[in-house]
Amino acid sequence: MNGTPSTLIRSETDGAPSLSAALFIAGFNAVAQSHHTAMVSKGFWDEDRNDSEALMLIVTEIAEACEAIRHGNPPDDKIPEFSGIEAELSDAILRIMDLAQGRGLRVAEALIAKMEYNKTRAHKHGKAF
């Protein structure tokens, strides 16, 4: 593929998602659907989920990533071919995917839109860090 990052995301002619954005969205949603189906089969959706609880479980995965770094980022205990931070960030993304699928949230589409919006923002988005 060629072109600047912006042209890879949005068509210059009609503003529709570009091929790479469309592929990302389709891929993300396919993986999310597969993961959500697995989580349903494991009983995580037997009762209606509490959204705040689901969001905090995403936060706990980020905290686990921080702990991995604090311990020198060793290989993950479940998938040792990856480091702790790699495994924990993937856990966070999987939890996001599961929640998105369970609630019909368009996270992949929003990600592309937000990435494009962020390109228009000020240096450090106008903040100190």
**Number of residues that make up the chain:** 129
CB nearer to Mg ion: pick between 85 and 115:
85
Instruction: Give the CA angle between residues 106, 112, 113 to the nearest 5°.
Output: 85
Distance in Å, CB of 110 to Mg ion, minimum: 24
Q: Determine the residue type at 121.
A: R
Distance in Å, CB of 88 to Mg ion, minimum: 5
Q: Is 95 helix (H, G, I), strand (E, B) or coil?
A: helix
Residue nearest Mg ion by beta-carbon distance? 91
Instruction: Give the CA angle between residues 70, 73, 77 to the nearest 5°.
Output: 115
Site for Mg ion contains 91 (CB under 5 A): yes
Q: What are phi and psi of 97, to 5 degrees?
A: -60, -45
CB nearer to Mg ion: pick between 61 and 101:
61
Site for Mg ion contains 86 (CB under 5 A): no
The Cα–Cα gap between 13 and 20 comes to: 16
| Interface positions, 60-79, toward Mg ion (CB under 5 A) | 61, 64
Distance in Å, CB of 92 to Mg ion, minimum: 8
Interface region with Mg ion, contact rule CB under 5 A, candidates 1-9, 22-30, 67-75, 84-92: 84-92
State the residues that interact with Mg ion by CB under 5 A: 61, 64, 88, 91
